[in-house]
């Protein structure tokens, strides 16, 4: 079977296929011209004419703080349009429809071509000079929409969304859905448990309907109602899968999510009581355990904890273009990390009944408990060491929050450096979030150092890859 590595070694021309859908149907293009074989099981005799004159650059990067959403830059595919023969394409609707890029060689069967980008197109533009430009966006763009669109349809606020509860949540403000019955909604679907319901900070009698995700107060409440509840899911991988699926994702990188579950087994709790963007929610979940999320070239939802791990590749000076490894940034360390955990979803500065204890008043009055990891020695070595603000998370357990704070201090408590480099054909296999071992005659890399790949950029018809490395 053919492979990308074989192709890059051979020196043969790289064929790029573009498959993009518009309101008029699928369009098939290539940069070299390509026709599938007569016996091709997928699409016999399908023509990919050589109208692709500007091959897209694929760019992906981890977020600036390493945690949250990885980013693939908006790409563009330039299409030839001599004498306006394809002007009619401008009358077709392209936005929000699937598009993908595949790489191979002109003599390969279609099944051997490797998908390097699967996403959507966001529109077709006319270029000065007559050409056309197809704008391509990462699959994340399709998630840039409200996560929850199911409305209450009843109660005093029928046009508000039904709340969502994932994992174990503390002191959430349920939504009234039937005033005469004193009925409150907690989740759009079945719940696992409702461990406490309070009025004015004190436990109050209630009747739970777990299957319907709601409860009824036994008497009319004389103060603010809050509840502790447990919904589906628990870990970061659980919640990412639940939210992504609700937003329309159907394919998942199962191996990556299993690895994430093993690396980040902490219990999380998420409450959504208003309309929120699905991308923002996924960011919040991943960042809570120091992870990032994105999509593979095969359009599978993936995620991983950010950090330097076991190297997938060793790079030596022979793998870099001449003098291309450059030290781009040196960042001061942080001497302290503070993480908020066990979020209080309904902060109550007042309105608590007189019988509420002072300890409970303090807890109901603050949004988070705080776990802290610090190293005073860092300030001695670096008097200008950073002291980042407290970061709120969805973590629930004090011990797990303390462990995560210590892990993040180990990442940020030393001076970190970023390098940029142009890597030969072997860089084709690199993805953000992976670790490489680098040997280089400068910058303290002579003995070999493990570095995290934080960005990758490649023109997919060429044999070199631009990378940013962190460590």
Q: Of 446, 443, 339, which Cα lies nearest the Cα of 393?
A: 339
| pLDDT reported for residue 73 | 59
Structure-block tokens of residue 115: 């998908």
* pLDDT tens-digit map of 461-470: 777 889 999 9
H or E element at residue 407: helix 398-412
Q: Is the pLDDT of residue 429 over 90?
A: no
Q: Of 148, 167, 394, which Cα lies nearest the Cα of 277?
A: 148
Provide the terminal-to-terminal Cα distance of the chain, rounded to the nearest Å.
37
* pLDDT band for position 303 (cuts 50, 70, 90): very high
* pLDDT band for position 4 (cuts 50, 70, 90): confident
Q: Are 147 and 246 in contact (CB under 8 A)?
A: yes
Q: Are 170 and 342 in contact (CB under 8 A)?
A: yes
Q: Go through 5-16 and write b for each residue having 16 or more CB atoms within 10 A of its CB, e for each that does not.
A: eebbeeeeebbb
| Gyration radius of the chain over CA positions | 26
* pLDDT tens-digit map of 20-51: 999 999 999 999 999 998 888 788 999 999 99
Q: Is the pLDDT of residue 9 over 90?
A: no
| pLDDT reported for residue 342 | 98
* pLDDT band for position 458 (cuts 50, 70, 90): confident
> What is the bridge-based pairing of β-strands 57-61 and 449-459?
antiparallel
| pLDDT reported for residue 452 | 95
pTM, two decimals, is 0.89
Per cent of the chain over pLDDT 70 is: 98
Structure-block tokens of residue 75: 């790409």
| pLDDT reported for residue 138 | 83
Least-confidence region, from 80-94, 135-149, 234-248: 135-149
| pLDDT reported for residue 6 | 78
Least-confidence region, from 140-144, 184-188, 436-440: 140-144
* pLDDT tens-digit map of 97-106: 999 999 999 9
Q: Go through 326-335 and write b for each residue having 16 or more CB atoms within 10 A of its CB, e for each that does not.
A: eeeeeeebbb
* pLDDT tens-digit map of 44-70: 999 999 999 988 888 888 887 677 666
Contacts of 426 (CB under 8 A, 6+ apart): 313, 315, 319
Q: Is the pLDDT of residue 190 over 80?
A: yes
Q: Of 16, 28, 29, which Cα lies nearest the Cα of 108?
A: 16
* pLDDT tens-digit map of 146-189: 999 899 888 889 999 999 999 999 999 999 999 999 999 999 99
* pLDDT tens-digit map of 350-409: 999 999 999 999 999 999 999 999 999 999 999 999 999 999 999 999 999 999 999 999
* pLDDT band for position 117 (cuts 50, 70, 90): confident
């Amino acid at each position: 079977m053919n492979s990308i590595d074989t192709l890059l070694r051979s020196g043969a021309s790289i064929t790029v296929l573009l498959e993009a859908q518009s309101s008029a149907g699928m369009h098939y293009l290539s940069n070299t011209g390509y026709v599938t074989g007569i016996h091709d099981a997928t699409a016999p005799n399908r023509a990919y004419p050589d109208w692709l004159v500007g091959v897209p650059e694929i760019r992906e990067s981890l977020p600036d703080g390493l945690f949250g959403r990885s980013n693939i830059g908006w790409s563009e595919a330039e299409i030839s349009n001599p004498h306006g023969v394809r002007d009619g394409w401008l009358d077709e609707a392209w936005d929000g429809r699937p598009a993908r890029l595949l790489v191979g060689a002109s003599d390969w069967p279609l099944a051997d071509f490797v998908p390097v980008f699967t996403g959507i197109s966001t529109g077709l533009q006319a270029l000065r000079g007559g050409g056309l430009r197809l704008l391509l966006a990462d699959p994340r763009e399709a998630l840039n929409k409200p996560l929850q669109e199911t409305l209450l349809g009843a109660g005093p606020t029928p046009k508000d969304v039904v709340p969502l509860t994932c994992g174990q949540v503390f002191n959430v403000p349920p939504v009234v859905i039937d005033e005469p019955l004193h009925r409150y909604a907690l989740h759009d679907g079945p719940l696992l448990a409702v461990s406490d319901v309070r009025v004015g900070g004190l436990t109050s009698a209630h009747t739970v309907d777990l299957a319907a995700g709601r409860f009824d107060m036994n008497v009319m409440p004389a103060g603010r109602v809050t509840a502790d509840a447990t919904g589906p899911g628990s870990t970061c991988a659980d919640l990412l899968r639940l939210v992504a699926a609700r937003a329309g994702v159907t394919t998942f990188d199962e191996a990556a999510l299993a690895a994430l579950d093993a690396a980040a087994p902490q219990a999380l709790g998420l409450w959504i009581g208003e309309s929120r963007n699905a991308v923002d929610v996924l960011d919040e979940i991943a960042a809570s355990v120091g992870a990032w999320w994105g999509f593979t070239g095969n359009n599978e939802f993936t995620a991983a904890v950010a950090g330097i791990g076991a190297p997938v590749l060793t790079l030596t000076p022979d793998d870099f273009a001449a003098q291309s490894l450059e030290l781009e940034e040196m960042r001061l360390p942080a001497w302290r990390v503070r993480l908020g955990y066990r979020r209080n979803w309904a902060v109550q500065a007042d309105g608590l009944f007189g019988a509420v204890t002072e300890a409970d008043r303090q807890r109901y009055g603050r949004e988070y408990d705080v776990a802290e990891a610090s190293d005073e020695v860092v300030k001695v070595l670096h008097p200008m060491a950073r002291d980042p603000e407290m970061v709120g998370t969805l973590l629930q357990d004090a011990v797990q929050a303390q462990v995560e704070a210590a892990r993040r201090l180990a990442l940020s408590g030393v001076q970190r450096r970023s390098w940029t480099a142009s890597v030969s054909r072997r860089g084709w296999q690199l993805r953000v979030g992976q670790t490489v071992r680098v040997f280089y005659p400068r910058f303290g890399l002579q003995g070999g150092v493990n570095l995290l790949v934080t960005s990758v950029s490649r023109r997919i018809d060429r044999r070199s890859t631009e990378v940013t490395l962190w460590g």
